[in-house]
Amino acid sequence: MEAIRFETDPCNYKHWVLEVESPIATLWLDVKEEAGLRPGYLLKMNSYDLGVDIELADAVQRLRFEHPEVEVVIISSKRDGIFSAGANIFMLGSSSHEFKVNFCKFTNETRLAIEDATDHSGQVYIAALNGTASGGGYELPLACKEIYLVDDRRSAVSLPEVPYLGVLPGTGGLTRLVDKRKVRRDRADIFVTLAEGIKGNRAAEWGLVDAVFPPSRFADSVMERARKLAVEHRNPTGIRLDYLNPTETDTEIRYRYVRLKLGPEARLARLIIEGPPDDFVIEKDPAAAGADFLPLRVFRELDDALLRLRFNYPEIGLVLIQTRGKLSNVLKMDAQLSAHKQDWFVREVLLLAKRVLKRMDVSAKSFFALIDEGSCFAGSYLELALAADRTYMLDKPGVEVALSDLNRGLLPMGNGLSRLATKLLGEPRLLAELMNSSETFDAGQAEAAGLATVAVDELDWDDEIRLAVEERTSLSPDALTGLEASLRFAGPETLETKIFGRLSAWQNWIFQRPNAVGEHGALVMYGKASRPRFDWRRT
């Protein structure tokens, strides 16, 4: 299959139309049936595939950076009577297991980006359902702050995956129902096993939508609500997000500051991130640097590399993280970012960095950080090591790590804690000491402080890393995925960790079960004359 690209822009959208009339923007869903990402299925009834979601993710990000003056985003459909039929079933039925799971993961990350924009960027999302919203077509509205449904006696909301397909809503729909919208679990039980869904006043009474309006007043009522929410009257000037345009070969993808090196060892990749130069400085107006602003560029490149690793290189199991540059330059950059964190543009850059690091947290790859000569694992770059499953640090003079304000809560994980706090849950005294530390740490000190897993002598370095790599790449990828998902999210459970924990465990398992994807499984038999055949044993 041709490699998937994750960059696009509104001029090249096939399935979405973005209209901006500040302070309100509208995202219209208008899926082109024959423009699927792969051949073999039609995107009927505004159903979507990964290509549709790549465009949505791009729009959500562009609204934050290019249109910071927008305060309300309305998501609706260009088609009367249908909002969206959700993820295209024939696309799912014909996809590999790893593609289905990564598709669900990416789609949910886009939903979380919508919620993050509402909570932290002042861009409130409203879903205007001018027709039926089914499955993933209802999970998208669940990510919005408010949901409004047309009351035309036909349009309903539904999550029919269990009765129709033998799988679960794949992007957090069950959790958002009961945790976010606080729908009673007995009502939720009826709702998610009722294939035809619920419409009209009952949908509003049960909390599935916020209100219903008749067709004659629907558009005006939604716009009236949007105007009431748009009260800040912000007027910053946005910046244009350009294409990253990396150079690609069979063995390397090279961006400006990030390199993804593939092999030559089996199942191994190296991700190398360059630090800031000596002359990096944040101007009085940080947005003046535009898309060339170094921290923005670095994390956009890292995000693209992580997505390519997921979808285009499923057999790569271990990624070695390295940095190159001066520790002092990263610390100076972080100090400037912290000093400007109230600026809208710097705030958005930090929020992007948070989302990219979260994407790393939930990627089904093992990550080892290698801190050696020439490394610059400090502050924001140290987050990469704190996110890694293990960190090996060379015990040699001059090899050091350091903390900055960005390690102390500005880049939280999905559990709401910093990566440092998550790692040191059982050592609160040590955590308190580190929160006030402005020192650099050599290998022995970093190991004692929990900033490195193992300090390795120079004589043993090559053998230690070689053995660790050989061991990791020899283990079961399925077992490692479960292991990593279980170990990475210590601490409190949140809506986000519940969604990803249950998605990784339950959907991953269900997508491989014969009841869903066997010869007579519900997902395979959908749309055919024969009914699915189930193994009725519970397990």
Q: Do residue 200 and residue 275 come from a single domain?
A: no
Residues 278 and 201 placed together within one structural domain of the fold: no
Looking at the domain assignment, is residue 173 inside a domain? Answer: yes
Among residues 493, 492, 535, 489, the alpha carbon closest in space to that of 515 is found at 535
CA 28-29-33 angle, 5° bins: 145
Query: Is 2 within a domain?
Result: no
Residue ending a domain, among 467, 483, 499, is: 483
Q: Are 218 and 337 found together in one domain?
A: no
Q: Which of 287, 286, 313, 291 is nearest to 301 (CA)?
A: 291
Residues 435 and 355 in one domain: yes
Mark whether 270 and 126 lie in a shared domain. Answer: no
Q: Is residue 506 in a domain? A: no
Please tell me whether residues 22 and 133 are part of one structural domain: yes
Q: In this structure, is residue 377 part of a structural domain?
A: yes
What's residue 5's pLDDT? 96
Instruction: Examine the fold and report which residue of 203, 229, 255 is the final residue of a domain before the chain moves on.
Output: 229
CATH number of the domain encompassing residue 405? 3.90.226.10
Question: Is 442 inside a domain boundary?
Answer: yes
Same domain, 101 and 139: yes
| pLDDT score of 69 | 97
pTM over 0.75: yes
Residue 194 sits in the same domain as residue 311: no
DSSP structural state of residue 443 = H
Same domain, 262 and 218: no
Q: Number of structural domains, the chain?
A: 2
Upstream peptide bond of 10 is cis (omega within 30 degrees of 0): no
Judge if 444 and 297 occupy the same domain.
Answer: yes
Written as tens digits, the pLDDT of the chain (539 aa) is: 689 999 999 999 999 999 999 999 999 999 999 999 999 999 999 999 999 999 999 999 999 999 999 999 999 999 989 999 999 999 998 999 899 989 999 999 999 999 999 999 999 999 999 999 999 999 999 999 999 999 999 999 999 999 999 988 988 999 999 999 999 999 999 999 999 999 999 999 999 999 999 999 999 999 999 999 998 888 889 999 999 999 999 999 999 999 999 999 999 999 999 999 999 999 999 999 999 999 999 999 999 999 999 999 999 999 999 999 999 999 999 999 999 999 999 999 999 999 999 999 999 999 999 999 999 999 999 999 999 999 999 999 999 999 999 999 999 999 999 999 999 999 999 999 999 888 999 999 999 999 999 999 999 999 999 999 999 999 999 899 889 988 998 999 999 999 887 777 777 788 888 999 899 999 889 888 889 999 998 87
CA distance 244 to 133: 35
Range of the domain at 410: 247-483
DSSP H or E segment with residue 465: helix 461-472
- What is the distance, to the nearest Å, from the Cα of residue 498 to the centroid of all Cα atoms in its chain? 14
Query: 223 and 256: one domain?
Result: no
520 occurs within a structural domain: no
In a domain, 516, yes or no: no
Predicted pLDDT at 447:
97
Report which residue type is found at 59: A
User: What pLDDT was estimated at residue 250?
Assistant: 93
Residue 502 lies in a domain: no
Please enumerate in sequence order all residues whose Cβ is within 8 A of that of 28, keeping only pairs 6 or more positions apart, or say none: 16, 17, 18, 19, 76, 77, 78
Are residues 256 and 182 located together in one domain of the fold? no
pLDDT for the residue numbered 537: 87
Find the Cα–Cα–Cα–Cα dihedral 361, 137, 93, 50, rounded to 10°: -50
From 438, 461, 483, give the residue that closes a domain.
483
Determine the residue type at 383: E
